[in-house]
Structure 1
């Protein structure tokens, strides 16, 4: 485990990255929190307009506005790699970021994709690859290699909805739908035995012996202890709306 002179975890081949057009303030705070005790090779916010409050420590990279979830999913598959200039990217969100930098393992970079463990599905088609085999690790809050990020566009992988789910989902697209194709190209997905130390999203039995994962996604179960950032201007605006609403209702009578 490499460290800087200041004692920070030093991972110069990893870019901390986030892609969003919503909850931008909260995402920036999550990125800053993720930088505690870690020296990344680069830090980039991929969004449609440079925020006035963007710290100098975070690079702005432009994309067209992500105004619906399908655009986000598409760009995460086909565009993300264009914004990354290191061997790996650690993808975080406003609701999923690094909380225990001391839980880092160099083994996380032995794989082209590592995310949080998935639960066992309640049907016979979810979380399965093209051959029907169960997949136990995914999640958009993840580490991905530059090679994997560039692969879908280079290989011409067809953008399709997930069968029987009738929706686009970027991590299932990569970890399940095209997993076999990606593995045949020589890339590796982390097993659940390693991923449980990396991240937690679902409170499943397989993760319960790990008290301090490197990161989390969603405030479920034990994850409720982790910070939840809020935009103070949104809070004030909501208070104003709550104050005015009774008067508007009275006028409608």
Structure 2
């Protein structure tokens, strides 16, 4: 008789609420949420989607769908994340994810992630003083949300810039908000640079290593043009070339070119796919 070994239990984070806000590409965002909950048992999972819309016919087991007005641009998204989450968060922290990022290795979780008020993948393109910031895969305390409720956030800047750059000093000095040190952030998540072991990630360019060719092809086939033409999807083409997946890189580059018109950049990427792919 063959006795199968028990499946490892999921990471228990009952004092963390998983949050995703997406009124434009909910199907892809829900897939990211489902990848997270396949590894982690959260205290609550909330998806803020377009009010009046259904859930894209995707299973919502364990996910609370809350309808909100359509968010038409980055400014509206940012204002909602900065000032709209607090009434819904009863746990000590919330983990925010977007369509292009999710938990990849629950074993990389550290309990001291909960000792800070904000942690996201390092921003290597920012100054050292604000090196930790990326909001697309970030852990925030309710304490931070309470502080933000007392500060004006009415502009159109990205919400992670608002928190980690514009309001950083006020949050530290007036409210005692603590941002994660860079070494902790580097273990929490990744956005830029070569892939390394982390709890999660943000950025479509990493899909080349997160998905098999079959999985990624299915994702791309279901993705709306808005995501295919996203400026960061160009990075995915380059990542696919680097991974030796030249046919997939070619197809994605060609789809972008057909919508945008063949430009020199598309031609160069096509040549690279032919010359450098495995």
**Fold match (TM-score > 0.5):** yes
Quote the residue 2:268 is aligned against. Answer: none
- Structure 1 position 149, deviation (Å): 1.5
Q: TM-score if structure 1 supplies the norm length? A: 0.75
Do 2:39 and 2:103's aligned partners in 1 also have CA atoms closer than 8 Å? no
Structure with more of its chain in helix, by fraction: 2
**Pairing partner for 1:182 from 168, 171, 183:** 171
Structure 2 Cα separation of the partners of residues 223 and 114 of structure 1: 22
Structure 1 Cα separation of the partners of residues 181 and 208 of structure 2: 25
Quote the residue 1:124 is aligned against. Answer: none
Structure 1 Cα separation of the partners of residues 146 and 59 of structure 2: 27
**Pairing partner for 2:22 from 13, 17, 20:** 20
Within a 5 Å distance, the mapping from 1:208-227 to structure 2 comes to: 211-220=196-205, 224-227=208-211
Listed one character per residue, the Cα deviations across residues 93-152 of structure 1 (whole Å, up to 9, x for unaligned) are 11011111111111111111000101144xxxxx5xxxxx72110011200001112222
Structure 2 Cα separation of the partners of residues 29 and 15 of structure 1: 17
Quote the residue 1:137 is aligned against. Answer: 132
Quote the residue 2:45 is aligned against. Answer: 43
**Which 4+ runs in 1 deviate beyond 4 A?**
none
Listed one character per residue, the Cα deviations across residues 42-78 of structure 1 (whole Å, up to 9, x for unaligned) are 0110122341424121111222111222100111111
Do 2:104 and 2:201's aligned partners in 1 also have CA atoms closer than 8 Å? yes
Matched, 1:82 2:79: no
Listed one character per residue, the Cα deviations across residues 129-181 of structure 1 (whole Å, up to 9, x for unaligned) are xxxx721100112000011122222x2x22354xxxxx511101011111111
Give secondary structure in 2 for the equivalent of 1:147: helix
| Structure 1 segments unaligned to the other structure (5+ residues) | 122-126, 128-132, 162-166, 246-253
Bigger drift between 74-83 and 86-95 goes to: 74-83
Quote the residue 2:153 is aligned against. Answer: 159
Do 1:201 and 1:218's aligned partners in 2 also have CA atoms closer than 8 Å? yes
Within a 5 Å distance, the mapping from 1:80-159 to structure 2 comes to: 80-121=85-126, 127=127, 134-140=129-135, 141-153=137-149, 155=150, 157-159=151-153
RMSD of aligned Cα (Å): 2.5
Quote the residue 2:187 is aligned against. Answer: 197
- Structure 1 position 85, deviation (Å): 2.1
Do 1:28 and 1:54's aligned partners in 2 also have CA atoms closer than 8 Å? no
Q: TM-score if structure 2 supplies the norm length? A: 0.69
Do 1:9 and 1:39's aligned partners in 2 also have CA atoms closer than 8 Å? yes
| Structure 2 segments unaligned to the other structure (5+ residues) | 1-6, 229-254, 259-278
- Structure 1 position 218, deviation (Å): 0.6
Q: Which has the higher contact order (CA 8 A, sep 6+)?
A: 1
Listed one character per residue, the Cα deviations across residues 26-52 of structure 1 (whole Å, up to 9, x for unaligned) are 111111111122111001101223414
Bigger drift between 62-71 and 52-61 goes to: 52-61
Do 2:103 and 2:201's aligned partners in 1 also have CA atoms closer than 8 Å? yes
